[in-house]
Amino acid sequence: MKSKSWKILVVDDEEDLSWSISNSLRRCNNELEVQCAQDGNQAFEMLRQHSYDLVISDYRMPGKDGLELLKQIRRRYSKTKVIIMTAYGSTEVQSIVEKCKDTYYLEKPFDILDLKKMICQINGNKDFLFKNALN
């Protein structure tokens, strides 16, 4: 299955983490467009201006948190897939996330390889992020 160009938005108030995730993903597939936002408010503005296939968002952020961003994405951009990542995992948060259509849960700290495998599963192409030897 040939993959189309995919747009991903990484949302996290920890700039080092969002930068690290975006750079790692960009190196894997040159058809991937990855952008970053520092909080839920900035992410929602970016969503209003651009279409994204996937949003990878932290759960706890100042201002609009990941759960509020998720609710807005589900209301307005139903085709956008979402990964909620959190360092403050709980069965309650996991249950809320997993009840939402096309939404996935990932606890920090995580191995970048696990995130890549999750993205490949979401994309429906197991080789989507493994074309390049620099994974």
**Side chain identity at residue 66, one-letter code:** G
Residue scoring higher pLDDT (10 or 92): 10
Tokens of 81: 């897939």
- Asked if residue 135 has pLDDT above 50, the reply is no
Res 131: pLDDT = 64
pLDDT 10s digits, 67-78: 999 999 999 999
Q: Read off the pTM.
A: 0.91
**Side chain identity at residue 84, one-letter code:** I
Res 81: pLDDT = 97
How many C-beta neighbours within 10 Å does residue 52 have? 22
The closest alpha carbon to 71, from 103, 95, 49, belongs to 103
- Asked if residue 48 has pLDDT above 70, the reply is yes
Res 93: pLDDT = 85
